[in-house]
């Protein structure tokens, strides 16, 4: 077969994404987000997300086909995120993908959301260096993965034991009176603050913690430390230096993320670190990772911000890779699985 034309559907959280690729060339990446509907709640509301996916699904598929200049029956395969994620949200995408596969008579590839975050990098930087170490940091996950084969052999080395990195950004932004989602606002505020103004804690980095949680993360203690610091400031009647708090908090998160990712890469002897997920858009994280990795001879790959956040292109990219590597398609009875392991 010439390079496969694959349509990928992503609905694991609050973005309805439909991507179309030919081989590893991106033809369309249509995304409809319900983020504004969740903003007043300060976090994603599952029921609201599911309903928004239902409304956005067909128009987003149509928009992607129009952008790619294809008709639906031109596609060679359909791929879809079957987990992990919000089950009601996943169900909408999985049902849509099954209907397309059945109606068009094309194979269905159910893929893992985390693996798709890794695979998307190929659309920008070419073939994936395997093995590589992937750090995925978003509102829903913070994971270190050893990727031997992105279509099926991924070893989870560690993850957060409480809040995800993006969740910490969102909660701290809220404390500072910044809008949801908070990550980009903290990033911006931090540029005019001092990263050494306040010495916030680095979770799971003491010698004892490292014995049990060498590649795990914890951000809830950091969030509480920021809350205490801000409360003490407010009690004293002094203004809260938002930029300094943002910069010092961001430094603490990035320091731990980069430290552990490079430790894992060194431990497993891999030369490439791939960073993905919404938090990978963070300017300090990118700069710190580049700088510290270079000192260790490790090369960093970070997709552009639009490919780091949830989208359909990542699902299409992984689906296309599965077709190319001759993986078996999924049955039409494949379930949506909110806690699907990699
Ligand atoms: O991957 P994503 O779009 O959705 C999830 O799967 O969660 O990630 C969204 C998360 C949010 O928590 C948001 O605050 C964070 O990514 N984020 C950032 C930045 N841009 C988005 N965090 C830090 N710095 C940024 N520039
Ligand atoms: Zn994600």
183 lines ligand 1 (CB under 6 A): yes
- Nearest Cα to Cα of residue 262 among 203, 208, 214: 214
305 lines ligand 1 (CB under 6 A): no
Q: Among 165, 309, 311, name the best residue to mutate to test ligand 1's pocket (greatest count of ligand atoms within 8 A of Cβ).
A: 309
Are 140 and 102 in the same domain? no
Q: Among 10, 49, 85, 138, name the best residue to mutate to test ligand 1's pocket (greatest count of ligand atoms within 8 A of Cβ).
A: 138
* CATH assignment of the domain containing 17: 3.30.420.40
Are 135 and 237 in the same domain? yes
Chain center to CA of 272: 18
Are 284 and 152 in the same domain? yes
Are 190 and 230 in the same domain? yes
pTM: 0.94
Are 28 and 104 in the same domain? yes
Helices (H), 191-304: 207-213, 220-235, 242-268, 283-295
Are 193 and 58 in the same domain? no
Rounded CA separation 72/69 (Å): 10
Are 66 and 139 in the same domain? no
Q: How far is the CA of 117 from the centre of ligand 2 (A)?
A: 7
Q: How far is the CA of 249 from the centre of ligand 1 (A)?
A: 15
Q: What does the pLDDT read at residue 40?
A: 77
227 domain-assigned: yes
331 domain-assigned: no
319 lines ligand 1 (CB under 6 A): no
Are 291 and 152 in the same domain? yes
332 domain-assigned: no
Q: Among 113, 163, 278, name the best residue to mutate to test ligand 1's pocket (greatest count of ligand atoms within 8 A of Cβ).
A: 278
94 lines ligand 1 (CB under 6 A): no
Look up the ipTM and state it: 0.98
339 domain-assigned: no
DSSP-assigned letters across all residues of 34-85: -HHHHHTTTS--HHHHHHHHHHHHHHHHHHHHHHHT--GGG-SEEEEEEESS
Q: What does the pLDDT read at residue 37?
A: 81
Q: What is the mean pLDDT of each run of 10 residues along the chain (342 residues)?
A: 92 96 98 84 85 97 98 98 97 98 98 97 97 95 96 97 96 95 96 98 95 97 97 96 98 98 97 96 96 97 94 98 98 97 92
168 domain-assigned: yes
Are 248 and 154 in the same domain? yes
Are 61 and 189 in the same domain? no
Work out whether strand 272-276 and strand 299-301 pair parallel, antiparallel, or are unpaired.
Answer: parallel
Q: What does the pLDDT read at residue 2?
A: 85
Are 188 and 287 in the same domain? yes
338 domain-assigned: no
Q: What does the pLDDT read at residue 35?
A: 83
Are 167 and 286 in the same domain? yes
Total of domains in the chain: 2
The ligand whose atoms approach the alpha carbon of 139 most closely is 1
Q: Identify the domain containing residue 86 by its residue range.
A: 5-120+311-324
73 domain-assigned: yes
90-123: pLDDT as tens digits:
999 999 999 999 999 999 999 999 999 999 999 9
Q: What does the pLDDT read at residue 123?
A: 98
335 domain-assigned: no
């Amino acid at each position: 077969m010439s390079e496969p034309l694959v349509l990928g559907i992503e609905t694991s959280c609050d973005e309805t994404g439909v991507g179309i690729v030919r081989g590893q060339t991106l033809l369309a990446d249509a995304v409809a987000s319900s983020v504004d509907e969740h903003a007043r709640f300060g976090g994603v509301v599952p029921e609201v997300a599911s309903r928004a996916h239902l409304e956005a699904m067909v128009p987003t598929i149509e928009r992607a086909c129009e952008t790619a200049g294809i008709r639906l029956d031109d596609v060679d395969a359909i791929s879809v995120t079957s987990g992990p994620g919000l089950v009601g949200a996943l169900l909408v995408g999985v049902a849509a993908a099954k209907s397309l596969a059945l109606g068009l008579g094309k194979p269905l590839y159910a893929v893992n959301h985390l693996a798709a975050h890794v695979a998307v990098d190929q659309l920008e930087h070419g073939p994936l260096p395997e093995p590589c170490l992937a750090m995925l940091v978003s509102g829903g996950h913070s994971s270190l993965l050893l990727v031997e084969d992105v279509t099926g052999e991924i070893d989870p080395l560690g993850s957060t034991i409480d809040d995800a990195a993006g969740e910490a950004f969102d909660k701290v932004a809220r404390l500072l009176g910044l809008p949801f989602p908070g990550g980009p606002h903290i990033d911006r505020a931090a540029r005019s603050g001092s990263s050494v103004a306040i010495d916030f804690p680095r979770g799971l980095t003491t010698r004892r913690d490292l014995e049990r949680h060498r590649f795990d993360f914890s951000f809830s203690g950091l969030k509480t430390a920021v809350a205490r610091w801000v409360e003490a400031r407010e009690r004293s009647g002094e203004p809260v230096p938002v930029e300094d708090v943002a910069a010092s908090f961001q430094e603490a998160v990035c320091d731990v993320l980069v430290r552990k990712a490079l430790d894992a890469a060194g431990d497993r002897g891999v030369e490439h670190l791939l960073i993905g997920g919404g938090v990978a858009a963070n300017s300090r994280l990118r700069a710190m990772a580049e700088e510290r990795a270079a000192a260790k001879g490790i090369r960093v790959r970070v997709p552009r911000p639009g490919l780091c956040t949830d989208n359909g292109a990542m699902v299409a990219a992984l689906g296309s890779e599965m077709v190319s590597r001759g993986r078996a398609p999924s049955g039409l009875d494949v379930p949506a699985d909110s806690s699907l392991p990699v």
